[in-house]
Structure 1
Amino acid sequence: MPADALLFSNSRPPGAEVPFAHAAGPLRDHLGHRTVWFVGWARHDLDAYTGWVADALADVLGPVDLRGLHREPDPAATIREADPARETVLVGGGNTFRLRRRTGDNGVLAALRERDDLRYAGASAGSNLACPTIMTTNDMPIVDPGGLDALGRLPVQVNPHYLDPDPHSAHRGETREERIAEFHEENALAVVGLREGAWLFRSGDRLTLDGHTARLFRRGHEPTELAAGTDLSWLLETPTS
């Protein structure tokens, strides 16, 4: 069974001055005293991004041994050789297509698939990468990702930053709900639309929503509102229904 996975809609909820402050407790429990390998390939400036995340985590958790995986001579080997009792992975947000392309090119995606015994945390694009595919990302395809398949740490899809339709908006493009309906015209996997401040936590055969509300979309069903604290473990058994 895969190791624990903690998947955030975002790292900076509206109104929060300190990134990750809304989830300090779960992050502290999840990261523990492990070395954290930070996967920042969703962004362009990897050193700046790694430094920003290190500072943010230190502000809310105290000292964290966070290391940029991009600085390793062989990032994929670092993942393959990681000790699950002492090391974990944190995958940052940004552009999901770029993250999929770069981790595919450098072998980290394959290494993470092999090492599902490593604890995994992700935010935004990093949460998309934990799904069976990246097809429910909100991002623009700025690069050819080299494939849409992802890690499958959950058997369901996540849509981070889920936005409810605004009846007063002048926007005439598809709403997030309509885009997910399009996904279900072609695919059967359930989709959890995580509103800002929400996260999913998988531990063994248990899956829970916390932090904030979310919306569940299943093909052939009306969307369902989910309260913080909802037990979604049944989705691990029947992810396509």
Structure 2
Amino acid sequence: MDLLLLSNSAMPGLAYLEYALAPLTAQLGERRRGVFIPFAGVTQSHDAYTEKVRQALASLNLAITGIHTVADPRAAIADAEVIMVGGGNTFHLLKMCREQGLLEPIRQAVKKGALYVGWSAGANLACPTIRTTNDMPIVDPGGLDALNLLPLQINPHFTNALPEGHQGETREQRIRELLALDPQLQVIGLPEGNWISVRNGNAELAGSKPALLFKANEPAIPLAAGHCF
């Protein structure tokens, strides 16, 4: 099983998905036939989002088809060598994937060798559930269970910083609330610029910042690049 789960899509001073080009190149191999799932995008059209991704990844010579443009989305996923899932609103993404019956076809395609690439909401979708998203529940997705391609929960865009004078909870406090109710879970706080690469079932952390592993009733554990799960 091959996964590339990115915390975010852009970094300061870099173009959209530019920081993802190197890890994506490293995992693509000979795969070139891809589908893009733009359903997390709510304030941009699916066509515009797909074209944005095509332009960002043009140097990789991928053939990227927007899943919304095909007559049989499930067949397109079954035929794809690369399945890309963009960021945006995770609740909207899960709702549309569930309504179109795409979750099981994605699972099966990845198990058969397709590379799953997800950033932000797309990374959340690969987890057992979407309960560690940062997004507002703007729609009811009909349940929070997701693809379960990775046994860990990811919190993308992770930061514990709060603006001066802000009285809301830190990200860690929010994660601790989840772990208090579901203590068997483990959550990776994945900072921007970091990613998790899974190859042949082996997961490795990469990026320029330490991530944090959260377990119930334990201090957060810093994880450096190169840590394997």
TM-score, structure 2 normalization = 0.92
Confirm whether residue 143 of structure 1 aligns to residue 139 of structure 2: yes
Tell me the CA shift for residue 164 of structure 1.
Answer: 1.8
* Corresponding residue number in structure 2 for 1:26: 23
Tell me the CA shift for residue 184 of structure 1.
Answer: 0.1
Distance 2:201 2:100 in 1: 31
Confirm whether residue 210 of structure 1 aligns to residue 189 of structure 2: no
Secondary structure, counterpart of 1:110 in structure 2? helix
1:98 corresponds to which of 88, 92, 95: 92
Distance 1:62 1:122 in 2: 17
Tell me the CA shift for residue 16 of structure 1.
Answer: 3.0
Q: Which moved more, 1:15-24 or 1:205-214?
A: 15-24
Tell me the CA shift for residue 101 of structure 1.
Answer: 0.1
Confirm whether residue 125 of structure 1 aligns to residue 121 of structure 2: yes
Contact 1:104 1:110 in 2 (8 A): no
Confirm whether residue 43 of structure 1 aligns to residue 38 of structure 2: no
Q: 1:4 to 1:62 in 2, by over 3 A?
A: closer
Tell me the CA shift for residue 30 of structure 1.
Answer: 2.2
Amino acid in the other structure paired with 2:170:
T
Identity within the alignment, %: 45
Secondary structure, counterpart of 1:17 in structure 2? coil
Deviations along 1:194-214, one digit per CA (max 9) or x if unpaired, are: 100000011124211001321
Secondary structure, counterpart of 2:140 in structure 1? coil
Tell me the CA shift for residue 62 of structure 1.
Answer: 4.0
Aligned residues: 222
* Corresponding residue number in structure 1 for 2:66: 68
Secondary structure, counterpart of 1:192 in structure 2? strand
Contact 1:23 1:211 in 2 (8 A): no
Distance 1:170 1:70 in 2: 44
Pairwise CA RMSD of aligned residues? 1.4
Amino acid in the other structure paired with 1:158:
I
Is there any run of 5+ residues in structure 1 with no aligned partner, and where? Answer: 234-241
Amino acid in the other structure paired with 1:47:
D
Runs of 4+ that moved beyond 4 A: none
Contact 1:132 1:154 in 2 (8 A): yes
1:165 corresponds to which of 153, 161, 183: 161
Confirm whether residue 77 of structure 1 aligns to residue 75 of structure 2: yes
Distance 1:205 1:57 in 2: 25
Contact 2:25 2:60 in 1 (8 A): no
Secondary structure, counterpart of 1:103 in structure 2? helix
